[in-house]
A and B are shown apart, each in its own frame.
Chain A
Amino acid sequence: MTRAIVVGFRPTNSGSDALALGVRLARSAGAHLHVVTVLPREGALSAAVPPERSYETHIQKQARTWLRDAAGRIPAGVSHSGHVRLGESFAEGLVEAAEEFGAGLIVVGAANGGLFGYHRIGSVASELLHSSPVPVALAPAGLARGIDADTDVSRVTAAIGTRPGADVLLDAAVRLAAMTDSGLRLISLVPFDVPAGLGTGAMRLVDDALGEDVLARASSALPEGVDAELEHAPGATVEEAVARLAWKPGEMLVVGSSRLAQPRRLFLGSTAAKMLHVLPVPMIVVPRTSHDPLSDASETTRDTTTDTETAKGADA
Chain B
Amino acid sequence: MTATDEQTAAQADAPSDSVTGGISRKGLSVGTVGLLGAIVMGISCIAPAYTFTAGVGPTASAVGTQVPAVLLVGFIPMLLVAFGYRELNREMPDSGTSFTWATRAFGPWIGWMAGWGLIAATILVLSNLAGIAVDFLFLLISQISQNPSVADLASNPFINVGVCLLFMLGATWISYRDMQTSQKLQYVLVGFQLVVLLVFAVVAIVRGASGDAFDPTRFDIQWFDPFAISSVGALVTGLSLSIFMFWGWDVTLTMNEETKDPERTPGRAATTTVITIISVYLLLTIGMIMFAGVGTGALGLGNEGIQENVFFALSGPIMGPLAFLVSLAVLTSSASSLQSTFVSPARTLLAMGHYGALPPKFASVSPRFFTPGYATVVAAVVASAFYAIMRLVSDTVLWDTIAALGIMICFYYGITAFACVWYFRKQWFDSARNVFFTFLFPLIGGIILFGIFVLSLVESWTPGATGSGSQIGGVGLVFILGVSVILLGVVVMIVQYFRSPGFFRGETLTMAAPESLRRR
Chain A residues near B (Cβ < 8 Å): 10-12, 15, 39-42, 44-55, 57-64, 66-68, 71, 80-87, 89, 93, 96-97, 100, 112, 304, 307-308, 310-312, 314-316
Contact A310 B258 (CB under 8 A): no
The answer to whether residues A64 and B257 also contact, given A42-B32, A44-B343, A51-B31 and a CB cut-off of 8 A, is: no
Contact B350 A58 (CB under 8 A): yes
The interface residues of chain B lying within 8 Å CB-to-CB of A67 are 19
The answer, yes or no, to whether B272 is at the interface (CB within 8 Å) is no
Min CB–CB distance A39 → chain B (angstroms): 6
A50 to B41, CA, bound (A): 7
Contact A55 B367 (CB under 8 A): no
Contact A100 B32 (CB under 8 A): no
The interface residues of chain A lying within 8 Å CB-to-CB of B185 are 47
A87 to B21, CA, bound (A): 13
Contact B368 A41 (CB under 8 A): no
The answer, yes or no, to whether B370 is at the interface (CB within 8 Å) is yes
The answer, yes or no, to whether B511 is at the interface (CB within 8 Å) is no
Contact B340 A49 (CB under 8 A): yes
A88 to B184, CA, bound (A): 15
A93 to B94, CA, bound (A): 25
Chain B residues near A (Cβ < 8 Å): 1-2, 5, 9, 12-13, 15, 17-26, 28, 31-33, 41, 44-45, 93-95, 174, 178-183, 185-186, 251, 255, 257-258, 336, 339-340, 343, 347, 350-351, 354, 365, 367-368, 370-371
A279 to B217, CA, bound (A): 75
Q: Which of A64, A96, A112 has the most C-beta atoms of chain B within 10 angstroms of its own C-beta?
A: A64
Partner of A84, one of B22, B45, B95: B22
The interface residues of chain B lying within 8 Å CB-to-CB of A314 are 23
Chain B contact surface mostly: loop
Give 25 pairs: A residue, B residue, CB < 8 Å, sorted on A. A12-B367, A44-B178, A44-B371, A46-B180, A50-B41, A50-B343, A51-B32, A51-B33, A52-B347, A53-B2, A57-B2, A58-B354, A60-B21, A64-B19, A66-B367, A68-B17, A68-B18, A81-B20, A84-B20, A86-B28, A112-B368, A304-B25, A311-B24, A315-B20, A316-B13
A60 to B1, CA, bound (A): 10
Contact A42 B367 (CB under 8 A): no
The interface residues of chain A lying within 8 Å CB-to-CB of B13 are 64, 315-316
The interface residues of chain B lying within 8 Å CB-to-CB of A57 are 1-2, 9, 93
The interface residues of chain B lying within 8 Å CB-to-CB of A41 are 32
A44 to B19, CA, bound (A): 22
Contact B24 A96 (CB under 8 A): yes
A41 to B30, CA, bound (A): 11
A65 to B351, CA, bound (A): 17
The answer to whether residues A61 and B9 also contact, given A68-B19, A71-B19 and a CB cut-off of 8 A, is: yes
Contact A97 B183 (CB under 8 A): no
Contact B365 A311 (CB under 8 A): no
Contact B181 A47 (CB under 8 A): yes
The answer to whether residues A50 and B45 also contact, given A40-B370, A41-B32 and a CB cut-off of 8 A, is: yes
The interface residues of chain A lying within 8 Å CB-to-CB of B370 are 39-40, 59, 63
The answer to whether residues A61 and B255 also contact, given A40-B178, A46-B180, A50-B45 and a CB cut-off of 8 A, is: no
A96 to B347, CA, bound (A): 29
Contact A53 B258 (CB under 8 A): yes
The answer to whether residues A81 and B94 also contact, given A41-B32, A311-B23 and a CB cut-off of 8 A, is: no
Contact B251 A50 (CB under 8 A): yes
Min CB–CB distance A26 → chain B (angstroms): 15
Min CB–CB distance A313 → chain B (angstroms): 11
The interface residues of chain B lying within 8 Å CB-to-CB of A84 are 19-22
A45 to B175, CA, bound (A): 10
Min CB–CB distance B38 → chain A (angstroms): 9
A87 to B354, CA, bound (A): 25
A314 to B21, CA, bound (A): 9
Contact B15 A316 (CB under 8 A): yes
Closest B residue to A307 using CB positions: B25
The interface residues of chain B lying within 8 Å CB-to-CB of A68 are 17-19
Contact A64 B25 (CB under 8 A): no
A314 to B22, CA, bound (A): 10
Contact B347 A45 (CB under 8 A): no
The interface residues of chain A lying within 8 Å CB-to-CB of B15 are 316
Min CB–CB distance B62 → chain A (angstroms): 31
Contact B336 A48 (CB under 8 A): yes
Contact A61 B45 (CB under 8 A): no
The interface residues of chain A lying within 8 Å CB-to-CB of B174 are 46
The interface residues of chain B lying within 8 Å CB-to-CB of A10 are 367-368
Contact A48 B95 (CB under 8 A): no
A64 to B45, CA, bound (A): 31
The interface residues of chain B lying within 8 Å CB-to-CB of A40 are 178, 370
Min CB–CB distance A291 → chain B (angstroms): 21
The interface residues of chain B lying within 8 Å CB-to-CB of A51 are 31-33, 255, 258
Closest A residue to B8 using CB positions: A61
The interface residues of chain B lying within 8 Å CB-to-CB of A86 are 22-24, 28
A112 to B367, CA, bound (A): 12
A308 to B26, CA, bound (A): 11
Contact B20 A45 (CB under 8 A): no
Min CB–CB distance A309 → chain B (angstroms): 10
Min CB–CB distance A155 → chain B (angstroms): 32
Partner of A82, one of B20, B258, B339, B340: B20
Q: Which of A12, A62, A71 has the most C-beta atoms of chain B within 10 angstroms of its own C-beta?
A: A62
Contact A85 B24 (CB under 8 A): yes
The interface residues of chain A lying within 8 Å CB-to-CB of B365 are 58-59, 62
The interface residues of chain A lying within 8 Å CB-to-CB of B354 are 58
The answer to whether residues A89 and B186 also contact, given A50-B255, A307-B25 and a CB cut-off of 8 A, is: no
The interface residues of chain A lying within 8 Å CB-to-CB of B17 are 64, 68
A80 to B19, CA, bound (A): 10
Closest A residue to B340 using CB positions: A48
A53 to B31, CA, bound (A): 9
Contact B32 A58 (CB under 8 A): no
Closest B residue to A100 using CB positions: B24
The interface residues of chain A lying within 8 Å CB-to-CB of B19 are 64, 67-68, 71, 81-84
What 11 additional pairs, Cβ within 8 angstroms, besides A48-B340, A50-B251?
A: A10-B368, A39-B370, A40-B370, A50-B340, A59-B365, A81-B20, A83-B19, A87-B24, A96-B24, A311-B23, A316-B15
